[in-house]
Chain A
Amino acid sequence: MSAFEHIIDNSRSLLASAWGDIVDGLKLYPLWGRLGWTDILQRYRRSVLGPLWLTISMAVLIASLGFLYAGLFKMELKTYLPFLSIGFVLWQMISGILLDGCTVFIGAEGVIKQINLPLSLHVYRLVWRNFLTFLHNAVVIVAVIVIFDLPIGWNSLFVLAGLALLIVNGLWVALLFGMLCTRYRDLNPIIGSIVQLSFFVTPIIWNPALLPDKKFILFFNPFFHCVESVRAPLMGNVVPMETWLVLVGIAIVGWAIVIPALGVMRRQLVYWL
């Protein structure tokens, strides 16, 4: 039963203990898998449709917004509605990870103060929960793809790469935000505002084609690349190489920052709660 052998030895190096935290947390997938799913179920306990409500409310929202903005922007519903639904559902997951990330450790205080588990466990749980929500919402995307007969082919498989990069990046961001927001409680509202603003400056409800001569600005918006890497393959477009490079670059730089930061802050975090 070496599965739960438990040795605390605070003489380990910071980097080794941070890496150990991330790997050990990943190995606890039965626990965070179950907890993430319970989080969603809890919200819909005793309701008849349960988590299906996620799908329904997303469908209603996208249908209403789709008709409204297609009219406002004078765009064809056939191109606009798929564009909006994919972007919107993705944004739901991105903003969910960012905002939940701020409270990931504060919310888990009860567990963190009771038992020695990897801190990353709570982050995996959070990302998994948001991914499950995404899967519920993705039903809307599938419906839109079928209804509007989008050109699905081999190229569409790049979606998986886009989602994988989104999760890899989401994990480090949530981990970093979680630690910083636990220490500095004012960061939470600041990040909240930034996320809200990002929604409007990222092409989700508006098409980047409307921004003909200032397109280079989008290059500096990481959210644009996140959304584009999933949306483009589904719309039958090719994801530009620069988007992949940016996303991989962010992942490498992000993890290179987060692992040492986790090593330093992991020891102190419980005292900040």
Chain B
Amino acid sequence: MARIQLDKVCVDFPVFNATSRSVRLGLLNKVIGGRLSKGKKHGSSVRALDEVTVSFEKGDRVGLVGHNGAGKTTLLRVLAGVYIPTSGLIRCEGRVAPLFDISLGFDLEASGYDNIILRGLFLGLSKAQIEARVDDIAEFTDLGSYLDMPLRTYSSGMLLRLAFAIATEIEPEIILMDEWIGVGDAQFVERAKERLDRFIGGSSIMVLASHSEELIRATCNKAILLGQGQVLAEGSVEDVFHHYHFFGTSHFFDIEQYIYMYPDLQDAMAEPGMAPWMHFIRYGIFEGRSPGRGITIDAFANDPVFQRALAVRDGLAAAERIEEIAPFLKTFTPSQDWRTARNLKYPENFVPAQDYPLIDLDDARSLYPSIA
């Protein structure tokens, strides 16, 4: 019987740097009486999940929605039992098949058949149980005689097919997937969906994290919007995406300032179904209006990614680009409750406009210790 219950689950990642991770500092502190590490005994930490309370029942196909660093992957790993929460309770019953990294436990030098057995053992089957299913797995993968070849000769699409076939053939009660569909071809995606339908229809739970709205709409019957590790919205896929498009995760958009700065928008925003955030991604961003927080659209004048989004009238993509870049703009003033995303990346591909430079990498590192 598959069931997942999370009650006020928090996950904190310790952020180690070379000093706090070494014994040297510990020893030095002993010698000089702890002055080196004023009060910060274990360095800093980043909260990746913040009091997440959710529960899933059988038949749920849950899509996790949110920006990079919103906590999607962390939540999946909590469900997989990989991350044990810092606080809160989790109860997760049922056979779990995680499908995060398709190469888990694969031995690239061994044959496809050998790897079916190896992966099956990883997922908790006995050798006899796997051998009974090898033919079905082979059939679904459609790899034919390739299964006798070493895995290093496979393409990433073939690896995905193999991993997916094994993970679903063990009839898991809970299947967890993180952006799994990326390398599959259209035909495979179709067959994969069919297969998922068949066994989730039974008594299973699927949780899927994806940036693809289309995929989540096609495969899920429930969704959760995460932002900064918190559950911002929960419910039907339709409701959650509505919320997402309407409010975003909005840490880079200052509603009050937007209204205050642009009095001419008062009438436009009074329209039914319109909100400042929505106005911004529909019109404001194209009209060069600032979302507040010290971010100006001029700063993106030379950025190809942003300009391409504007050119195709995709306000949401343009706004996402702002979110990605904003922490590194010199003029950026974050809101009080804004916390750095754990997988924040320094934007290598950004082309700054004149007069709007980014902070340099060293400053970014000292400002955001979690940066990769």
Contacts and interface: CB of A to CB of B under 8 A. Distances in A.
Interface of A: 1, 3-11, 28, 30-31, 34-35, 38, 41-42, 45, 110-117, 183-187, 190, 266-268, 270-272
B197 interface: no
B92 interface: yes
A186 B98 contact: no
Interface in B91-131: 91-96, 98, 100-101, 103-105, 107, 109-110, 117-118, 121-127, 129
A271 B77 CA distance: 12
Contact of B109 (A6, A28, A45): A45
B24 interface: yes
Contacts of B124: 3-4, 6
Interface string B3-19: 00000000001101000
B13 A271 contact: yes
B100 A114 contact: yes
B232 interface: no
A150 B83 CA distance: 54
A8 B92 contact: yes
Interface of B: 13-14, 16, 21-24, 26, 77, 80-85, 89-96, 98, 100-101, 103-105, 107, 109-110, 117-118, 121-127, 129, 170, 174
Contacts of B80: 114-116
A42 B82 contact: no
B98 A115 contact: yes
A93 B329 CA distance: 55
Contacts, number: 104
A114 B82 contact: yes
A117 B122 contact: yes
Nearest to B85: A10
B90 A10 contact: yes
B85 to A, nearest CB: 6
Contact of A3 (B16, B96, B109, B126): B126
B110 A8 contact: no
Contacts of B125: 3-4
Given A111-B104, A114-B98, A9 B84 contact: no
A184 B90 CA distance: 29
A4 B90 contact: no
Contacts of A34: 117-118, 121
Contacts of B105: 111
Contacts of B101: 110, 114
Nearest to B104: A114
Nearest to A33: B121
Contacts of A6: 81, 92-96, 124, 174
A184 B92 contact: no
Contacts of B91: 7-9
Q: Which of A5, A41, A113, A117 has the most CB of B within 10 A?
A: A113
B81 A116 contact: yes
Q: Closest 8 CB pairs between A and B?
A: A4-B124, A116-B81, A8-B81, A267-B84, A31-B121, A186-B22, A8-B92, A114-B104
A7 B82 contact: no
26 contacts: A1-B95, A1-B129, A4-B95, A6-B92, A6-B95, A7-B91, A8-B81, A9-B90, A9-B91, A10-B90, A34-B121, A35-B118, A110-B101, A110-B103, A111-B104, A112-B82, A114-B104, A115-B123, A116-B80, A116-B96, A184-B21, A184-B23, A184-B26, A186-B22, A266-B84, A271-B13
